[in-house]
Amino acid sequence: MDRIALGQEEQETMIDFIGEFSADQEFRKLLGRRDDEVNLTIAALELARDANSRLDFTPTLQWIAARGAEISGLVALASGDQAILRVLADCLCARHGITGNSMAYDSADGSYLNRVIETRNGIPISLSVLYLAVAECAGIALRGVCAPGHFLVRYETLHKPLFIDAFHKGRVLTFAECLERVQSEHQMTKAQARRALEPAGARAIITRMLNNLKAIHAHNENWTQCFKTQNRLLALQPAAYSERRDWALIALKAGKPGPALTMLEQCLQTCPDEERQVLEDHAKRARGAVAQFN
């Protein structure tokens, strides 16, 4: 269970984290829980800047704006709701070749918006964020959905919502089709599936993107990038024991034994009994590494 209260040491650690994101205007809005003010496209690009500190957002934003302008006239002439969504999907997938690729799960590039445009490949959530961005430029109001297993895009109609599966060539799905898929694939009740298909806010979307990146970096043993990602996750959820624990373990792997030891000692004060031995073993390793530096 996550711990809610923060002690003085935890608060001091968080101040350092917040300062680290001084250049990330949109991410800082998430830290202040100002989700409604967040530009999701910029926030996603701020994550990509972790991999390239000199990343210029302008080419990506110009490409998105150009695609919005490209389809705005066609959207105005579309015969109905599904036709509007097909205009968007045809532009991004058929015309510009942007679609899902299982290989994208193996590389962080599949999560970075600028690289998705450059490589024409991505994972469901990054592709969906791109769809959201282009749609906004074309005057189409879409929302992201943190559906279990597979991120989707939601479009409200006068009747029931429609959905876009950006990973599978922008396929348009009805509400009934999505309900059935979520229920059958994840053993959910109809009520649970309905809740899972509700729109998500910027905070939930960015958190999901970060968790994807964390898993990719850990799998590839890129601990420097994994640590940057975990910094963001902990900044978003400072009271979460699981995030503090993971921060300590990743910091140790990233060659930061001092900070890792400090956090491990904090975690040992509140950890579940079944995790105590593992954390104590890591704390011992951290102490040994710190001693070597002294």
Q: Is residue 257 part of a domain?
A: yes
Averaged pLDDT, 41-68: 98
Same domain, 28 and 73: no
Q: Do the domain assignments include residue 2? A: no
Separation CA 57–CA 117 (nearest Å): 12
Task: State mean pLDDT over 61-75.
Answer: 98
Residues 6+ apart with CB under 8 A from 251: 227, 230, 257, 259, 260, 263
Tell me the pLDDT tens digit for each residue of 115-171: 999 999 999 999 999 999 999 999 999 999 999 989 999 999 999 999 999 999 999
Query: How many residues are there in the chain?
Result: 294
- Cβ–Cβ under 8 Å, residues 18 and 32: no
d(CA 164, CA 195): 17
Q: Are residues 272 and 160 in the same domain?
A: no
Q: Tell me the residue range of the domain where 281 lies.
A: 8-33+221-293
Indicate if 170 and 265 belong to the same structural domain.
no
CA dihedral 84, 86, 39, 234 (to 10 degrees): 140
Residue 18 within a domain = yes
Same domain, 29 and 62: no
Distance CA 97, CA 116 (A): 11
CB-based contact 247:263 (threshold 8 Å): yes
Average pLDDT over residues 32-54: 95
pLDDT digits (tens, 9 = 90+) for 209-259: 999 999 999 999 999 999 999 999 999 999 999 999 999 999 999 999 999
Among 179, 196, 213, the domain boundary falls at 196
My answer on whether 182 and 92 are in the same domain is yes
Q: How many domains does the chain have?
A: 2
CATH number of the CATH domain containing 271 = 1.25.40
